Structure 1
Amino acid sequence: MIINPVLARHGRIGLLAATLLLGTGLGSAIPAKAAAPDCATVAGAMQITADCIDPLYTKPVIDSETDETAPVAHHRIRAHFEGTNIQFNVYFHAKQDLGKWEGRFFQYTYPTAFTPEEDTSQADDRAVGFALSSGGYAVQAGNKSLALGYRHTAAAAKFAETLAAKYYGSDRKISGYLYGPSGGTYQTIGATENSTGVWQGFVPMVQGVPQPTSYNFLGRSAAELILGDKSEQIRNALLPGGSGNPYAGLDAAEQAMLKEVHALGIPWKGWEFPDYLLGRSDQYPNGLDSSAPLSFDPSYANDFWNAPGYLGTETSPLGVRVRAELAKMGDTVDNRWNIANRFYYRYQTPPASEGWVGLQQFLKADGTPLYPQRPVKDPGFYGFVSGNTAFDGSINGKVIVVDNLYDTDALPLHADWYRKRVEASLGNAASDSYRIYYNDHADHQNAPVSGERAKHLVNWYGMAEQALRDLAAWSENGVQPPASTDYKINDAQVSVPDNAAARRGIQPTVDLTVQGNESTTIKAGQSIKLNAKAQVPPGAGAVVKADWDLDGDGVYTNAPLTQIGNVVTLQTDATFAKPGTYLVALRVSSERTGDPSATFALAQNLDRVQVVVTPGG
């Protein structure tokens, strides 16, 4: 009997898989073969190869197989690893569509289920539909609570290959691509630094990194305390047609806080949705602060309020303000912790050589810290989420990072921090394996964009899907993906060129004007002319769709295109019946092949202008 090479190379998993496949319609008995070696562990991180065995995941068990119709026709296999809480699902093409498989798979990963009903082992409709339409099957592994690290994803991927070889009736080489957002990027980077041969490429989306403290959240919490009642004022200054000066009207303490929070790298663009930035939205029902003592540093709050060098004793305007806030709340133990916790990031300052640009504002000219340093370090959660990954940039396989310029959770600055580590690790070869794409008008959330958020944000997920397709073409056929986004770091802020050709990456740019400017004042009933130019970066496709939001309510209507191309111009006239201030928007979508009917891998962007309408007369 000929042993399928894909089955054989997975040792114990492959042999047990063949046994489990009996009676499922997928397989027959496979002769015994020498067991593969156990995977090695180096510096606390298990090194996974295509041939080694992870001792935690040696017994995959198929629970059920079904032919399903939604979101498209497919064959689904549900399974679990015996002795663990890890389940996984594999989604193959329907029998009538076997010819659409191109020898690859796409695998989404995320560590946490947020509700008791959620199960991170089940792919959502979009993940399934995208994978099947992109020549791949889908794999997803997890459970209903925490599924940490990359080991369970690797075990599921390897077992799924044994299923795929039999289901598709092929012994072709299978290429795999792992992707995940936010906490899933810790798992994705864990996989690329600590595995070889399981996946060929990786797409970390809205990338998280193991920062010294959670200063992105703490800084926003500090801003909520000091700037909460000035949030709309700051927002309005930064909107199209605003003054452009967010410091206007702020006192000395507020100006100091605003400068400090953005020197951390928290994007100015976050003020578009101030409730999210400050932790007052539904996504943060408990806010960003905590009144509970830091378990790893129980003496911190007492020092904050009593020891020299801490903000609680500082004579600066900001120090005076925090003491006033404590008096306003009431001088209790809980309130002392509440305020002190928000500023913990000031007292965990790494040396400049570690590359934390946002914390260098707390270093003196000679490189020593401005403020007292805590003797213990924030343990963070990065280690156990990532599988004790070093985050040293030693990637195996191709990597395309998709990051967003409005993201106040996973800061745009942090993706640059990891890029530098990759370049230090790989040297000149980094460009052969690494890309980074920054997206404008996109934040951390990957849910459908609607309501208030649709007024200033686009759905960035299509750009991640295009990155996955580019990754497959790059890995399998050597097709170079578009160049990385060209960007600069200024005062810890990531800035990009306005023009698509100069910006590069894969997102289109939009330049919208009203009467030739970014704002205008008219009377009710008066007509105005809106003009726009949309452009696609080199090699990134063509504009295939445009939508207007003429009254600024976040609801878009289709703008028929007279042309499809890499440069598109649009214009329209608009009138406003009622006085008010309107942020008029144009949103465009581009697609790599110029297909206006495409569902997946659409790259979106938008631009807005301000129209102030006064009473008619």
Structure 2
Amino acid sequence: MTMKSTPVRHAGIGILAASLLLGTGVGNAAPAVAAAPVCVAIAGAMQITADCIDPQFAKPVIDSETDETSPVAHHRIRAHFEGTNIEFNVYFHAKQDLGKWAGRFFQYTYPTAFTPEEDTSRADDRAIGFALSSGGYAVQAGNKSLALGYRHTAAAAKFAETLAAKYYGSTRTISGYLYGPSGGSYQTIGATENSTGVWQGFVPMVQGVPQPTSYNFLGRSAAELILGNKAGQIRNALLPGGSGNPYAGLDPAEEAMLREVHALGIPWKGWEFPDYLLGRSDQYPQGLDSDAPLSFDPTYANDFWNTPGYLGTEVSPLGNRVRAELATMGDTVGNRWNIANRFYYRYQTPPASEGWVGLQQFLKADGTPLYPQRPVKDPGFSGFVSGNTAFDGSINGKVIVVDNLYDTDALPQHADWYRQRVQASLGQAATDNYRIYYNDHADHQNAPVTGERAKHLVNWYGMAEQALRDVAAWAENGVKPLASTNYHVSDAQVVVPENAAARRGIQPTVDLTVQGKESTSINVGQTINLRAKAQVPPGAGAVVKAEWDLDGDGVYTHAPLVRVGSVVTLQTNVAFDKPGTYLVALRVSSERTGDPTATFALAQNLDRVQVVVTPGG
């Protein structure tokens, strides 16, 4: 291990790359170099170029260098910026693998503020392994202040290039690719709109945008209040073999709430896991509701319960239900705020021209709001997380968005909202710089898909990895990626074709039937036949793996493949020894080159059927 603590000023990649110090890694001191310009801010957003100096991150300090073996052999450099609490790590190929570097790097970003004890700058095993296997080194900058946006990531990326030039002994041009999920997508968009030359491509994942009042979370909280006791029956109606009518059995207030919340764009598919949608799962330990008064609008709760035009005074089934809920909870100050807060999205309605189709249900035919409007806008967190970016679609470099159709946190329609801004900003050039891929049976979480979630969700991270490889080939060699997913927006819901060739994008499709249908009823011990076909979009590779979950417990076993042209077919017979309702699933994985041994960049999807098993005679 080599320990260092020497500040090195970044004065432009081209200058420092040729003048780094001697030593096993990067050396101890840098010679004097020509002055570089200071980065400037425009409308509050710092404009970062390859050669400007961000004064907040002007002094990178190398703390250590180590040769490590996990998850694969690599050389790690740990560093920080003097005068800040920002640490970052760079992961290079091991000395024996230097020839595997293809002149690029991949950089993950996420805005969570962690405790001082946590090493947030350390990339996880997957990020390291993917980068090194894809011809790149990995960079990751920790973030202990939400307000940094993309600035610290840019400074880390630029300094890492000077380290790479010395470590790999190369003067070649280095290409970089920034990616991040959720809040990290805010940072990624901030970087593509406000930087040039630092990165050449970007992959925002499960894309968040600065929507009014965070209405998707408020709408879900409202649904939890009104529909919580009906969540199971709504889910069952939407499952394979269900009635298909989620409104059946709801009273007028519940029906009104369900229509409203899904007109917001909260996907029907989210009811597959209602506890998550309603904020009752482990991922939401605090829930979605709050008793706290709104600091930016302290008179709101009083108006909600006392002023005509608000739901708290409205004579309607939903208004009556809201007042009944308050009576049940107890008419105290905290409970009045708790219920009022959930419906705040009704009272800050932007004009239709701003594109928030989920809120247009609250506009009259003449375009004016149906309900009273609050004079104060919720500041939210999108501004400081994104670095005050405009979200106007003025992207620099190649962008591939990876979004998911089961996502109730970052709504699928919001990615389309941003796509329209890219189209307006770039015009015809958008086709040469932008793609969007929607994935089915995938939600917001990028953690391993296990347990209850594995019954109906796939791991979407491999599709993001493929997008990163595609954006690199696009930026470096002009290789156009596959066409964007074919979709349309109906009532704020993103709708895609069932067939892979029509859907396009990069995800395979699966069509599973039981006895030729999506559901069947049988007796214990009776044998039934399951048949499936799987396809990949044109140019997206080949299905390389299939797995059955025959008892619906989220645990999968290998299924042999039979290939007929571009279609993979599967079938099996199964019998059940216990009564019950089983959601049988088939999960498939495809890979761009058809490699069945691939670890990264696997595209997955699944399909399910319902089997009702009765004791019989």
- Structure-1-length-normalised TM-score: 0.97
- Equivalent-residue separation in structure 1 for 2:524 and 2:39 (angstroms): 71
CA gap 1:370/1:393 in 2 versus in 1, 3 angstroms: same
Give unpaired runs (5+ residues) of structure 1.
1-7
Give secondary structure in 1 for the equivalent of 2:163.
helix
Residue 415 of structure 1 is matched in structure 2 by 415
Q: What is the aligned partner in structure 1 of residue 379 from structure 2?
A: 379
What does residue range 255-404 of structure 1 map to in structure 2 within 5 Å? 255-404=255-404
Q: Measure the CA separation in 1 of the matches of 2:514 and 2:498.
A: 18
Shift of 1:41: 1.0
- Give distance in 1, aligned partners of 2:309 and 2:25: 71
1:39 aligns with 39
Aligned to 1:5: none
Displacement, 1:204? 0.2
Deviations 1:187-227 (A, max 9, x none): 00000000000000000000000111110000000000000
Q: Who is 1:515 aligned against?
A: 515
Aligned to 2:427: 427
1:118 Cα shift?
3.8
> Match for 1:466: what amino acid?
Q
| Structure 2 CA distance for partners of 1:59 and 1:516, relative to 1, 3 Å | same
Asked whether the 8 Å contact 2:264–2:357 carries over to 1, the reply is yes
CA distance in 1, matches of 2:114, 2:610: 38
| Residue 161 (1) aligns with residue 191 (2) | no
1:248-267 C-alpha deviation (Å, 9 max, x unpaired): 00000000000000000000
**Aligned partner of 2:79: which letter?**
A
- Residue 32 (structure 1) shift: 2.5
> How far off its partner does 1:563 sit?
3.8
1:24 CA displacement: 5.4
Distance in 2, Cα, partners of 1:29 & 1:489: 56
Aligned residues: 610
Tell me, yes or no, if the aligned pair for 2:9 and 2:59 is still in contact at 8 Å. no
State the Cα deviation string for residues 284-332 of structure 1 (Å, max 9, x = none): 1111011000000000000000001000000010000000000000000
Mean Cα displacement is larger for which, 140-149 or 126-135?
Answer: 140-149
Q: How does 1:196-215 map to 2 (within 5 A)?
A: 196-215=196-215
Q: Secondary structure at the match of 2:96?
A: helix
- Matched with 1:439 is 439
Partner AA of 1:439 in structure 2: N
Aligned partner of residue 610 in structure 2, secondary structure: strand
Q: Is the 8 A contact 2:393 2:421 kept in 1?
A: yes
Partner residue, 2:4? none
SS in 2 for 1:521: strand
Of residues 582-591 and 21-30 in structure 1, the stretch that sits farther from structure 2 once superposed is 21-30
Question: Normalising by structure 2, what TM-score?
Answer: 0.97
Name the counterpart of 2:129. 129
Asked whether the 8 Å contact 1:347–1:374 carries over to 2, the reply is yes
Alignment match, 1:119: 119
Alignment partner of 1:457 is 2:432: no
SS of the counterpart of 2:212? coil
Task: Work out the CA distance in 2 between the residues paired with 1:409 and 1:306.
Answer: 32
Q: Residues 13 and 58 of structure 1 are in contact (CA less than 8 Å); yes or no, is this contact kept in structure 2? A: no
What's the CA shift for 1:11?
A: 1.6
Give the residue type in structure 2 aligned to 1:386. S
Output the CA distance in 1 between the equivalents of 2:595 and 2:505: 19
The amino acid that maps onto 2:540 is A
Opposite residue 134 of structure 1, the aligned amino acid is S
SS in 2 for 1:311: coil
CA RMSD, aligned part only? 1.7
CA distance in structure 1 between the aligned counterparts of 2:19 and 2:89, rounded to whole angstroms = 19
SS at match of 1:442: coil
Question: Does the aligned pair in 2 maintain the 1:113–1:146 contact within 8 Å?
Answer: yes
Question: Could you say which residue in structure 2 is the equivalent of 1:603?
Answer: 603
The answer (yes or no) to whether the contact 2:17–2:166 under 8 Å persists in 1 is: no
2 CA distance for matches of 1:308 and 1:280? Answer: 32
Does structure 2 conserve the Cα–Cα contact (< 8 Å) formed by 1:510 and 1:533? yes
Provide the C-alpha distance between the structure 2 equivalents of 1:21 and 1:611, rounded to a whole number of angstroms. 67
Taking the aligned partners of 1:213 and 1:486, their CA distance within structure 2 comes to 29
Aligned mates of 1:118, 1:440 — CA distance in 2: 34
- Provide, for residues 337-395 of structure 1, a one-character-per-residue CA deviation record: whole Å limited to 9, x for no partner: 00000000000100000000000000000000000000110011110000000000000
Contact 1:565 1:594 in 2 (8 A): no
The alpha-carbon deviation at position 25 of structure 1 amounts to: 3.8
**Does the residue aligned with 2:148 lie in a helix, a strand or coil?**
coil
Residue 140 of structure 1: aligned partner: 140
- Letter of the aligned partner of 2:259 in structure 1? K
Distance 1:221 1:387 in 2: 28
Report the residue type matching 2:490 in the other structure: N
Other-structure match for 2:83? 83
In the aligned structure 2, how far is the partner of 1:136 from the partner of 1:271? 39
For residues 115 and 495 of structure 2, the distance between their equivalents in structure 1, rounded to whole angstroms, comes to 36
Flag the 1:89–1:197 CA change in 2: closer, same or farther, 3 A: same
For 2:293 and 2:144, how far apart are their aligned partners in 1? 29
For residues 559-598 of structure 1, the aligned pairs below 5 Å read 559-563=559-563, 566-598=566-598
Structure 1 match to 2:556: 556
> Does 2:186 correspond to 1:186?
yes
Quote the Cα distance in structure 2 between the aligned partners of 1:578 and 1:494: 38
Displacement of 1:98 after TM fit?
A: 0.1
CA contact (8 A) 2:20 2:162 kept: no
Between 106-115 and 448-457, the greater mean CA deviation after superposition = 106-115
Deviations for 1:463-504, whole angstroms, at most 9, x for unmatched residues?
Answer: 000000000001111111010000010111001000000000
Distance 1:147 1:20, change over 3 A: farther
| Counterpart amino acid of residue 151 in structure 1 | R
Give the match's secondary structure for 1:287.
Answer: coil
**Aligned partner of residue 57 in structure 2, secondary structure:** coil
Residues in 1 aligned to 2:124 and 2:210: alpha-carbon distance in whole angstroms: 28
Alignment partner, residue 52 of structure 1: 52
